[in-house]
Structure 1
Amino acid sequence: MSFLSDPPETDPGVESLYAADRERLGYVANYTRALAWRPAAVAAWAALNGAVKSTMDLRRYELATLAAARRLGSRYCRLAHGAVLRDRFYDAETVARIATDHADAGLSPADAAVMDFAERVAADPNGITAAEVDVLRGHGLSDAEILDVALTAAARCFFSTVIAAVGARPDAAFETALEPELRRALTGSLD
């Protein structure tokens, strides 16, 4: 569900996007329905996001993505990436703590610094200083790994902005897939 109508499913590009979602998720995601008007743009996004993720530890990618999504106020992305963190890396209580205050969630100092940096990229990329980059170096991140975090946060800015602008609502599946306390921590409410 979004502000846009669904594109015709008879279009081969749309049909392909919908089939891929049904195979991967069991349903067509709301963001796919909204973006399917431009299958080439969806393919370009998938290629960019895949390239960013391909060089990165998935847990670090998810933490950076959650931090950027939180800063951007993207309910959809917070729910989606909070679910991945819960399903793959942490229990629900830990993800809720990460979502509300990552500095006090038991993360390593390096992981907390990654989230801090991702939030800064999403909020004020022009204000980032060499000293902030040096903090990540001090936690053992290479320059390539620092670039990975910046790319992750910047890519989230693009995607979250687009889906928000067209009114893509979080999928109903998040209502049943996530514990109420975790949903509240990820979004600030139960709805």
Structure 2
Amino acid sequence: MIVIPPAPDEVEGHAADMYASDLAADGFVFGHTRAMALNPEAHAAFEALVRAVVPSIGVRVFELATLGAARGIRSSHCLLAHGRKTLRAGVMDEHQLTRLGRDYRDADLDAADVAVMAYAEKLSTDAAAMTDADSQALRDVGFTDRQIVDITLAAAVRNYFSRSLLALAVPRDAVPGIDGELEEALLTPCS
């Protein structure tokens, strides 16, 4: 890791809450948490943006936009972490998530789910090439303009976080509950 993260006894406030959350859930502090604890105010702002977009699109669409963006960025950190969040939130089961990791277009997702992932992936790989047709594709499967903005923000916030981890060379931790075939499938776009 390019930066030296604070030790558990050096954090307070939001950073201490970040560490405590990881410790309570998994028994250790993830590398991405340690890196982001260097600027807890930025992390809190990131979390506030996530909380602002989820109500209009729901957890399922948020996680699909996140996975689509992480796929485009080739962020193994976020593919694994949000694969686990997708399972824990009951968005889909392990079998379907494995299929999504290999090819979301062939994972028995409905047209709206595929459109969200394709949109987020394109935003993450070639945002400058996006046109009205990309937004229209979301509108055509039933999303409102507010939801299109929030899908865009969900994918963009994933770009912010994932690209930060990549730029800082934050090592990827093993994600409890994601291993074997599922891990391999989720990391397929990262190969």
The reply to whether TM is greater than 0.5 is: yes
Contact 1:79 1:170 in 2 (8 A): no
Number of the residue aligned with 1:184: 184
Deviations 1:155-179 (A, max 9, x none): 111000111111222222x2x5123
CA deviations 1:57-107 (Å, max 9, x no partner) are 101110110010000010000001111222322222210111121111110
Unaligned runs of 5+ in 2: none
Residue type matched to 1:29 in 2? Answer: F
Task: Supply the distance in 1 between the matched residues of 2:43 and 2:158 (Cα, whole angstroms).
Answer: 14
Report the TM-score when normalising by structure 1.
Answer: 0.89
- Aligned-pair CA distance for 1:180: 0.4
Question: Gaps spanning 5+ residues in structure 1: where?
Answer: none
Alignment of 1:26-175 (within 5 A): 26-87=27-88, 88-172=90-174, 174=175
User: Within 2, Cα distance between the matches of 1:158 and 1:17?
Assistant: 18
> Secondary structure of 1:167's match?
coil
Aligned residues: 187
Cα deviation per residue 1:100-137 (whole Å; 9 max; x = unaligned)?
Answer: 21111110011111111111111122211112211211
Deviates more, 1:15-24 or 1:50-59: 15-24
SS in 2 for 1:164: helix
What percentage of residue pairs aligned between the two structures are identical?
37
In 1, are the aligned partners of 2:99 and 2:185 still within 8 Å (CA)? yes
Distance across 2 between alignment mates of 1:55 and 1:141 = 10
The AA in structure 1 aligned to 2:34 is R
Give TM-score, length-normalised by structure 2.
Answer: 0.89
Alpha-carbon spacing, 1:131–1:11, altered in 2? closer, same or farther (3 Å):
closer
Q: Secondary structure at the match of 1:56?
A: helix
Query: Cα distance, 1:5 vs. partner?
Result: 2.0
1:85 partner letter? T
8 Å CA contact 2:105, 2:114 repeated in 1: yes
1:92–1:179 contact (8 Å) kept in structure 2:
no
Q: CA-atom RMSD, angstroms?
A: 2.0
2:11, 2:135 → 1: CA distance? Answer: 46
Please give the secondary structure, in 1, of the residue aligned with 2:69. Answer: helix
Q: 1:131 to 1:4 in 2, by over 3 A?
A: same
